[in-house]
Amino acid sequence: MGILSEAIKRILERPATRKYPKEKPKIPEGFRGRIEWNPETCIFCMLCAINCPTNAITINKEKKEWSIDIGKCIFCGRCHDVCPTKPKSVSNSKKYELAEYEKEKFRLKFRKSERGG
């Protein structure tokens, strides 16, 4: 009887589910999404690359290149925690729709240009 009365009570309520692709969820504060790199503050100290638990980050000091493999990244945010610059050069963004058809597209490479940026 318990379930039946509950079912009757809820029959006129709105559905509890969200229509996801049309209706985006609200991203909470502190969400750990895709890692983003800010070339302007980066000092190429290698701390993020050394401390990454899955070795997803690689840095080329001479070419001033910073790259990340999102397929390897576990979004733990350790690179953000260990980054010594202010404001932090490496940080979690709020991007979460990261699926791709090809593996190659997960390897993202960024370069610091002479003018910065």
Partner 1 sequence: MNEFYIPFGPQHPALIEPVHIKLKVDGEKIVDSELVLGYNHKGIEKSFENRWWAKGMYLSERVCGICGHYHTSCFAQGVENLLDLEIPERAKYIRVIIGEIERIHSHMLALGIVAYELGLDTLFHYIFRDRELAMETQELLTGNRVHFVMNVIGGVRKDIETKYFNLVEKNMERLDNRLHEYLKIFKTDTAIRKRITHIGYLSRRKAKELTPVGPNIRASGIKYDVRESGYLVYDNLGFKAVTGEGGDVLERCVVRIKECLESVRLIEDALVKIPKGEISKSVPLLLKIPEGRETVSRVEAPRGELIYYLKSAGDKPYRVKIRTPTYQTFTIINEILRGYEIPDVPVIIASLDPCLSCTDRLTIVDLNTERERVVSGDDIRRRETL
Residue whose C-alpha is closest to residue 96's, from 17, 25, 19? 25
Under the criterion CB under 8 A, does residue 72 sit at the interface with partner 1? Answer: no
CB 100 within 8 A of CB 106: yes
Long-range interactions of 54-59: CB distance < 8 A, separation 24+: 57/90
- For residue 21, say if its preceding peptide bond is cis, omega within 30 degrees of 0: no
> In the beta sheet, which residues pair with residue 110?
66
CB of 115 to partner 1, least distance (A): 33
116 contributes a contact to partner 1 by CB under 8 A = no
Q: Please pick, from the candidates 36, 38, 65, 82, the single residue that binds partner 1 as defined by CB under 8 A.
A: 82
By CB under 8 A, name the one of 40, 53, 61, 109 that touches partner 1. 53
- Does 76 sit near partner 1 (CB under 8 A)? yes
Q: With contacts defined by CB under 8 A, name the span among 2-10, 36-44, 59-67, 108-116 that binds partner 1.
A: 2-10
Residue 5, both tokens:
């009365």
Sites of contact with partner 1 (CB under 8 A): 1-3, 6-7, 10, 16, 28-32, 47, 51, 53, 74-78, 81-82
